[in-house]
Amino acid sequence: MDNNKNNYKDTLLMPNTDFPMRGNLGQREPEIQAKWDDLDLYRKVMKKNEGRPLYVLHDGPPYANGSIHAGTAMNKILKDFVIRYRNMAGYKAPYLPGWDTHGLPIENALSKDRKVDRKSVEVVAFRKLCAEYAKEQVDIQRRQFKRLGVLGEWENPYVTMDKRFEAAQIRLFGQMVEKGLIYKGLKPVYWSPSSESALAEAEIEYHDVKSPSIYVSMPVVDGKGILPDDALMLVWTTTPWTIPANLAICAGPDIEYALFTTDNKKKYVAAKNLVEQLKGILGWEKTEILHEYIGSELEGITYKHPLYDRVSPVILGDHVTIEDGTGLVHTAPGHGEDDFLVGQKYNLEAYCPVDSLGRMTKEAGKRFEGLFVDDCNPEVIKALDEAGSLLKSVEIIHSYPHDWRTKKPVIFRATPQWFASIDILKQDILDAIKKIKWYPSWGDVRLSNMIKDRGSWCISRQRAWGVPIPAFYTEKGNPILNKTIIEHVATIFEKEGSDAWFTMSAKELLPEGYVNEESPNGIFRKETDIMDVWFDSGSSHHGAMIERGFPYPADLYFEGSDQYRGWFNSSLITGIATEGKSPYKNLVSHGFVLDGEGRKMSKSLGNTVDPNKICNTMGADIYRLWVSSVDYQADVRLSDDLLKQVSESYRKIRNTLKFLLGNLFDYDETKNKVPYGQLEEIDKYIILKTDGLMKEVLASYDDFRFDDVYRLVNNYVVFLSAFYLDFSKDVLYIEKADDLRRRQIQTVIYHATDSLLRIMTPIIPHTASEAYDLIPHREKEDVYLTDLSMPEEYPDAVEIIDKYDRFMEMREIVLKALELARNNKVIGKSMAARVVLYPNEEYQNLIDSMQCNLQQVFIVSKLEIKSEGKGSYDENGLSVDVFPCEGVVCDRCWMTVPDTDENGLCPRCHDVLLK
Ligand SMILES: [Zn+2]
């Protein structure tokens, strides 16, 4: 040991805190969450906020199947930001999480993953298995969501298979029935002639079959001045038996079309890019393009059916492609999903001249009547040839849907289905959309366009796992649907759940003594269809919210942008239908989570990021911080590299917190706080900067701009640690514990710590909670029990901020000069420097107006200010010279002073230790 040096380390008030430098979040977070559970933190927050205005974010229910992924995790975290913020900002914001538990994916999971054979299981037993499966999935996801640090009513969530939910859903349906919004109509579904029934998607399998592939021309009737009246529309199909049901030709609105002639001098219309290919297929010698069109120009042109005396329109649809065929799609709304949907927009009938056994009906005409569809094909081809409309017929082999039971081909056939009418509600919905506040602002246009385009909503499904449509049929086969009966069924569901529909007879489900003249023998049949799952989740404002005593409408719906088509849409329709106004006042949508290169995440590409894994390694707070850092209203990117970048800024925040906490070890806010009026100007500046941060953060949270919170906090942390926390060490470590200057700085540090932790609680609650626990004499049991509110206003705020913002510019110049001097080996450490400033008048005035120990703030040993002369470093009104400071280094504070005492102490340290 160097005998000339005295060791004064033990006399310094060095930072002291148990807050570890390394977060080790993967392990520590579960402990913090256990602490929250022990505290019953969520309940305590609710209790604290009793009597405050409610802020209701209504949770869109995720589907209960499989582990959560990057997107579902982001969704829940974004919602938790809002909930936590509102609970700290003067509201009571309960969080009732929900799950969507009915539907096909669960039926599929049972047959695929659990090898449940639906054919051999009774429907009630099958539904029981579905319910058990859904419950397990809810448990898995609940555990995963909780691990993200999301607080809410986890032990009492809403699930769509809950009895009360089902009863409320049935009642909502009853209200729509009463308003005349529910009707039965035709819609094409997979139909198996061999088993004479409709099939669900899950009951379809694909096999190769041989089919005729035919090219047909249809003559234009009215070209609307666009097409010549002798033009022929060219279409292609592999199901000639659907030609009798042709009601339209569909063009793609943005596809380029051509009118062209060939060897035979006829004028055909087809997609321009397919003309060359058609020339080869149809064996033409040459083709000549006469005119070109954009698809949208062709809308409304009419043509004549080649086999019937029927004139039909050319319509537009986005499903049209130029991959094969002619780019003009033969459209039979009774025989295809796309055809039906586009047909609805144009009010075309779901015309279906095919019976349940797959035979052509008499509407198809004498020539085809009674023929099975496959046998009808050659007959239609022959008829088209005779009519001069057939250009070519060949056989092709392609993949075609089959009945999974009978292994026979299926057809698309229009069958009776239940619909909710949108037309009646459309204007009300569009008006309601205008009153909603949208984030991002284009949301209203997006949803309006979808509603405008929307035909009737087919709400029936031919499946087992869902809420039954509470309709009965008379002996004559007519449906009975009325409010009294539905209310009766709802009462039963409320007690027994919707399984009752399958365990009880029609008679038992109908009100006692119910009679109907169409059923003279008192025999009724139950509907076997269930409701579309979008009707389930779309009823959640009743099934979950109103049912649990929440107000209608909710303040906020916050989901992925795919929900404009889904939940935002269905909820709005049912909400307008029953309550006459939107179920949400504000709507926020977020984008998808893509990989680091902007590609869709998929298991097959191997580019997924598993949030559960991130939680256990880097920590939920890192994932949450990443969520806060991105512009979530667009699609966002996530990769290990991006998470590493976020970890880096987390590390800065954590280190700053450690320093802040370390310097509060002997500070008690209730006893040691120095009032604002007694602080030095530079302290006030930091208080005001911190309050400025608070104001900006509150505004950002209010507007759901979490990336701004992230940016503001990062900037603040850098500003604070590079400036105030840097020079204040000379006071915090060196002065006596009770020294006023030290207490002033600790007052500022406490304010910064407390503000920062409260600001960060919605985003990184684990870290904020962990750090808050280590504030000596903390106020509350957890930081989440504190509030975020507008800071106090001070009369000298503007003056101080203006003055010290200018000072910060001056400081930059001095720091640059010091750096240069270090690089040029003029000095070693900045601390050992003597700095001479030559300010211009403006800077001189600034220096004169400041009450501040500039030598200490610049962290140098000596500072001189001269009115004459010029330094070696010159910049905009301030010139600086840097020299090594002459003298002796104090063994304790390392400042260079003219002389030290016999113990190697400077006069200041001498006083601190010996007085
Ligand atoms: Zn000293």
Å from CA of 734 to ligand 1 middle: 8
Question: What is the chain's percent helix, strand, coil content, to nearest 5?
Answer: 45, 20, 35
Å from CA of 663 to ligand 1 middle: 19
- Asked if 706 and 81 count as a contact pair (C-beta separation under 8 A), the reply is yes
750 CA to centre of own chain: 36
Å from CA of 744 to ligand 1 middle: 20
Mean per-residue pLDDT, 509-529: 94
Query: What is residue 299's predicted lDDT score, i.e. its pLDDT?
Result: 96
Q: What sign results for the dihedral spanned by CA atoms 656, 661, 666, 669?
A: positive
- Whether the predicted pLDDT of 1 surpasses 70: no
C-alpha to C-alpha distance for 251 and 260, rounded to whole angstroms: 17
Query: What is residue 4's predicted lDDT score, i.e. its pLDDT?
Result: 53
Report which of 677, 690, 754 is spatially closest to residue 724, judged by C-alpha positions: 690
Mean per-residue pLDDT, 254-277: 94
Phi-psi sector, 377: left (phi>0), alpha (psi -120 to 50), beta: alpha
pLDDT, one tens digit per residue, over 703-724 is 999 999 999 999 999 999 999 9
Å from CA of 4 to ligand 1 middle: 16
Band (pLDDT 50/70/90 cuts) for residue 899 is very high
Query: What is residue 5's predicted lDDT score, i.e. its pLDDT?
Result: 67
Å from CA of 864 to ligand 1 middle: 20
Determine how many CB atoms are found less than 10 A away from the CB of residue 433: 21
pLDDT, one tens digit per residue, over 421-470 is 998 999 999 999 999 999 999 999 999 999 988 878 889 988 899 999 99
Q: For residue 261, give the DSSP letter.
A: E
Å from CA of 724 to ligand 1 middle: 20
Long-range contacts of 350-354 (CB under 8 A, 24+ apart): 350/185, 350/186, 350/187, 350/188, 350/414, 351/245, 351/247, 351/414, 352/186, 352/188, 352/245, 352/413, 352/414, 353/244, 353/245, 354/241, 354/245, 354/411, 354/413
Å from CA of 891 to ligand 1 middle: 7
Å from CA of 859 to ligand 1 middle: 13
Report which of 749, 731, 753 is spatially closest to residue 740, judged by C-alpha positions: 731
Query: What is residue 298's predicted lDDT score, i.e. its pLDDT?
Result: 96
Question: Percent of the chain scored above 90 by pLDDT?
Answer: 89
Furthest-apart CA pair in the chain: how many Å?
Answer: 124
H or E element at residue 304: strand 302-304
Q: What sign results for the dihedral spanned by CA atoms 446, 82, 584, 98?
A: positive
- Asked if 681 and 651 count as a contact pair (C-beta separation under 8 A), the reply is no
Pairing verdict, β 472-473 and 525-526 = antiparallel
pLDDT, one tens digit per residue, over 765-785 is 999 999 999 999 888 999 999
Å from CA of 911 to ligand 1 middle: 9
pLDDT, one tens digit per residue, over 12-58 is 999 999 999 999 999 999 999 999 999 999 999 999 999 999 999 99
Å from CA of 1 to ligand 1 middle: 20
Query: What is residue 622's predicted lDDT score, i.e. its pLDDT?
Result: 98
Å from CA of 863 to ligand 1 middle: 16
Query: What is residue 575's predicted lDDT score, i.e. its pLDDT?
Result: 98
Band (pLDDT 50/70/90 cuts) for residue 202 is low
Question: Percent of the chain scored above 70 by pLDDT?
Answer: 99
Å from CA of 720 to ligand 1 middle: 25
Å from CA of 310 to ligand 1 middle: 104
- Whether the predicted pLDDT of 104 surpasses 90: no
Mean per-residue pLDDT, 77-95: 98
Quote the radius of gyration of the chain (alpha carbons, Å). Answer: 38
Band (pLDDT 50/70/90 cuts) for residue 404 is confident
What's the mean pLDDT when you consider all of the chain?
95
C-alpha to C-alpha distance for 444 and 447, rounded to whole angstroms: 5
* SS3 label, residue 62: coil
Report CA-CA distances (Å) from 747 to 77, 408, 667, 671.
33, 81, 8, 11
Å from CA of 822 to ligand 1 middle: 23
Å from CA of 913 to ligand 1 middle: 10
Å from CA of 749 to ligand 1 middle: 23
Å from CA of 297 to ligand 1 middle: 87
pLDDT, one tens digit per residue, over 721-755 is 999 999 999 999 999 999 999 999 999 999 999 99
Å from CA of 829 to ligand 1 middle: 16
Å from CA of 905 to ligand 1 middle: 5
pTM recorded for the entire structure: 0.86
pLDDT, one tens digit per residue, over 820-853 is 999 999 999 899 999 999 999 999 999 999 999 9
Å from CA of 656 to ligand 1 middle: 26
Mean per-residue pLDDT, 481-502: 96
pLDDT, one tens digit per residue, over 330-384 is 999 999 989 998 998 898 999 999 998 999 999 999 999 999 999 999 999 999 9
